[in-house]
């Protein structure tokens, strides 16, 4: 009941149909993040695309200037010198066929999977396991790369992968409520800019329809797209 009352009280501070500037929206979201834990700041973007068509798929990665505030556990498929490089960069889990077998047997204590190109014949066998979780390494988002050390550092330093869902929506965590308003605003703008750069050739009409930010336990606050899309 307490959570419900807190949410209702927070919702009363937000005008449902109003589109706020980024600064106003961030201020509201932060003020309504009153849980005892450090709530995640989420962004949801409604795009004018239909991802069932290949030329309307939106996918990519963005390095958030303020980081994510999340401790990202990284698993890397690599051998020999590349494996050593991954460990030195901070990867928690490194392996080859042995790691593939562990994942097939249920190992899942990681948030990102990176692979050197020569390991994709091994990683490919995990498509049915990693694919549904959005963890399958892909060169388009930099998780299949010969530079595994840098990929690990990027993953831990604030890079966020994004992929449009079937209804044309993209969700991502872009920070923590404990971040300053300026830090969150920078992340919002960087994320939107990455989506604009990833606009597919098949997108017609209005590409970015709606942008909303919220905290884990708080109401969504709509952002005026005119404040985040360059004129």
Cβ atoms within 10 A of the Cβ of 130, count? 19
pLDDT at position 70 is: 87
Which CATH number does the domain housing residue 180 bear? Answer: 3.30.190.20
In this prediction, residue 1 carries a pLDDT of 43
Asked if 153 and 203 sit in the same domain, the reply is no
Q: Look at residue 4 in the predicted model and tell me its pLDDT.
A: 80
Give domain status of residue 6, yes or no. Answer: no
Look at residue 195 in the predicted model and tell me its pLDDT: 96
Question: Kind of pairing, strands 159-163 and 59-63?
Answer: antiparallel
Domain annotation covers residue 1: no
- Does residue 5 form part of some domain? no
Give the burial string for 8-38 (b: 16+ CB within 10 Å, else e): eebeeebeeeebbebeebbbbbbebbeeeee
| Alpha carbons 47 and 165: distance in angstroms, whole number | 10
pLDDT at position 9: 84
pLDDT in tens, the chain (231 residues): 455 888 888 888 888 889 999 999 999 999 999 889 999 999 999 999 999 999 999 999 999 999 999 889 999 999 999 999 999 999 999 999 999 999 999 999 999 999 999 999 999 999 999 999 989 999 988 999 999 999 999 999 888 989 999 899 999 999 999 999 999 999 999 999 999 999 999 998 999 999 999 999 999 999 999 999 876
**Based on the domain organization, do 63 and 163 belong to the same domain?**
yes
Whether 3 maps to a domain, the answer reads: no
Report which of 230, 225, 228, 222 is spatially closest to residue 43, judged by C-alpha positions: 222
Both 80 and 151 in a single domain?
yes
Give this prediction's pTM.
0.83
Single residue among 157, 187, 217 that ends a domain in this structure:
157
User: d(Cα 152, Cα 216) in Å, to the nearest integer?
Assistant: 26
Residues 90 and 125 in one domain: yes
Rounded Cα distance between 18 and 29, Å, is: 14
Q: Which domain holds residue 145?
A: 74-157
């Amino acid at each position: 009941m307490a959570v419900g009352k807190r949410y209702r009280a927070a919702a009363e501070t937000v005008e449902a149909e109003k589109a706020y500037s980024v600064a106003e929206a961030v201020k509201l979201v932060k003020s309504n993040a009153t849980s005892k834990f450090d709530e995640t700041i989420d962004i949801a973007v409604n795009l004018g695309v239909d991802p069932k068509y290949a030329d309307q798929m939106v996918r990519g990665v963005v390095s958030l200037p303020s980081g994510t505030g999340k401790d990202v556990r990284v698993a890397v498929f690599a051998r020999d010198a590349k494996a050593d490089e991954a460990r030195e960069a901070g990867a928690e889990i490194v392996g080859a066929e042995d790691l593939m077998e562990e994942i097939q047997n249920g190992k899942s204590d990681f948030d990102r999977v990176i692979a050197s190109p020569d390991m994709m014949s091994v990683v490919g066998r995990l498509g049915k396991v990693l694919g549904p979780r959005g963890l399958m390494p892909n060169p388009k988002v930099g998780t299949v790369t010969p530079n595994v050390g840098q990929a690990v550092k990027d993953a831990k330093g604030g890079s966020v992968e994004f992929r449009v869902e079937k209804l044309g929506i993209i969700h991502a965590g872009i920070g923590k409520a404990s971040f300053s308003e300026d830090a969150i605003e920078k992340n919002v703008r960087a994320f939107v800019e990455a989506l604009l750069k990833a606009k597919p050739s098949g997108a017609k009409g209005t590409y970015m329809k709606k942008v909303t930010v919220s905290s884990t336990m708080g109401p969504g606050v709509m952002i005026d797209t005119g404040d985040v899309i360059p004129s």
